[in-house]
């Protein structure tokens, strides 16, 4: 059988006069670990480029990618722009990336309309929630006093905590109910869950939402980074999440 083609949403480096590499240009990139995670089960990762800006020419649309690719992984990265969920930034450093938001919201809508599965990682979970009408904490430690440290800049992907997988959820069927160890690399998180979504995992200490799933369309997301998990770290095995997503992509290809 032909290998699955899985789109990965891009991270943006906007023009920056202090950057040595192409300071006047917009650069698109993905983390190697995300591509390797997709490839670990035999699928082919494809970075989906931006379709806007002064240099864009031609008639290609996000719908073309949604039709050609078998599924979409929403990458981690920059903060979501508060204006995407009707708020003003509480601090200048939390202004997020409006351009990337618009690009990714269009991607999510196109892939869902095409009947293709969408899986979100970290920012991907937040963006999916916002794209469907949900809201975010701009900064968990500021807006949720007493919360865990969900992002430690020094430890980065070696910052861990426990999550509770809610019973009777699909996630519970994949990795088991109860408490699991995961990494944590985020300072924003879901405040109001978007209509049509079910919470599948929470942080037991502070109630921060760690996983969601749409109740009709195949859209699922986790707040942690499965692509960073390694067995020797004692973390949960995320392989079933990837396999479930890829199986949905195979079904979508046959339909």
Question: CA-to-CA distance for 139 and 233, rounded, in angstroms?
Answer: 27
Q: Flag whether pLDDT at 189 surpasses 90.
A: yes
Burial of 104 (0-12, 13-18, 19+ CB in 10 A): buried
Burial of 167 (0-12, 13-18, 19+ CB in 10 A): exposed
Q: Going by C-beta distance under 8 Å and a sequence separation of 6 or more, which residues neighbour residue 58? A: none
Q: Flag whether pLDDT at 221 surpasses 80.
A: yes
Nearest residue to 246 (alpha-carbon basis) of 69, 64, 61: 69
Nearest residue to 211 (alpha-carbon basis) of 97, 141, 82, 124: 124
Active site residues: 122, 225, 227
129-140: average pLDDT: 98
User: Which of the four pLDDT bands, split at 50, 70 and 90, describes residue 255?
Assistant: confident
Question: CA-to-CA distance for 73 and 71, rounded, in angstroms?
Answer: 7
**Residue 58 has what pLDDT?**
85
**Residue 54 has what pLDDT?**
82
pLDDT digits (tens, 9 = 90+) for 167-187: 999 999 999 999 999 999 999
231-244: average pLDDT: 94
Q: Flag whether pLDDT at 1 surpasses 80.
A: no
Instruction: Return the ∠ at Cα 105 (arms to 102 and 109), rounded to 5°.
Output: 140
Give the chain's length: 255
6-20: average pLDDT: 95
Contact 31, 76 (CB under 8 A): yes
> Which own/partner pairs from 153-161 qualify as long-range (CB within 8 Å, at least 24 positions apart)?
156/185, 157/183, 157/185, 157/225, 157/228, 158/183, 158/233, 159/183, 159/184, 159/185, 160/184, 160/233, 160/235, 161/203, 161/205
3-state SS class at 191 = coil
pLDDT digits (tens, 9 = 90+) for 15-68: 999 999 999 999 999 999 999 999 999 999 999 999 988 888 889 999 999 999
pLDDT digits (tens, 9 = 90+) for 54-88: 888 889 999 999 999 999 999 999 999 999 999 99
**Which residues partner with 29 through β-bridges?**
11
**Residue 254 has what pLDDT?**
86
pLDDT digits (tens, 9 = 90+) for 97-131: 999 999 999 999 999 999 999 999 999 999 999 99
Nearest residue to 181 (alpha-carbon basis) of 200, 199, 165, 197: 165
For 49, the token pair is 């480029």
**Residue 52 has what pLDDT?**
85
- What residue ranges do the domains of the chain occupy? 5-133+209-254
- Domain 5-133+209-254 in this protein, CATH class: alpha beta
**Residue 251 has what pLDDT?**
96
Q: Model pTM?
A: 0.96
Q: Which helix (H) or strand (E) holds 183?
A: strand 178-183
CB atoms closer than 10 angstroms to residue 95 = 16
């Amino acid at each position: 059988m032909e290998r699955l083609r899985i789109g990965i949403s891009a991270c943006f480096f906007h023009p920056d006069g202090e950057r040595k590499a192409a300071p006047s240009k917009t650069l698109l990139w993905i983390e190697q670990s995300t591509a390797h995670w997709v490839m670990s089960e035999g699928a082919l990762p494809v970075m989906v480029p931006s379709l806007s800006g002064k240099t864009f020419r031609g008639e290609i649309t996000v719908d073309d990618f949604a039709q050609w690719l078998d599924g979409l992984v929403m990458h981690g990265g920059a903060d979501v722009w508060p204006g995407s969920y009707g708020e003003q930034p509480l601090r200048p450093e939390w202004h997020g990336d409006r351009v990337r938001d618009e690009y990714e919201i269009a991607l999510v809508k196109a892939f869902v309309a095409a009947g293709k599965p969408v899986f979100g990682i970290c920012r991907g979970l937040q963006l999916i929630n916002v794209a469907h009408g949900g809201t975010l904490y701009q900064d968990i430690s500021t807006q949720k006093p007493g919360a865990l440290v969900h992002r430690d800049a020094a430890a980065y992907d070696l910052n861990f905590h426990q999550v509770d997988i809610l019973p009777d959820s699909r996630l519970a069927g994949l990795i088991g109910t109860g408490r699991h160890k995961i990494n944590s690399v985020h300072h924003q998180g879901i405040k109001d869950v978007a209509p049509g979504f079910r919470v599948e995992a929470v942080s037991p200490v502070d109630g921060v939402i760690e996983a969601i799933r749409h109740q009709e369309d195949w859209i699922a997301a986790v707040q942690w980074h499965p692509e960073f998990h390694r067995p020797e770290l004692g973390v949960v095995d995320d392989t079933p999440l990837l396999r479930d997503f890829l199986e949905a992509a195979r079904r979508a290809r046959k339909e």
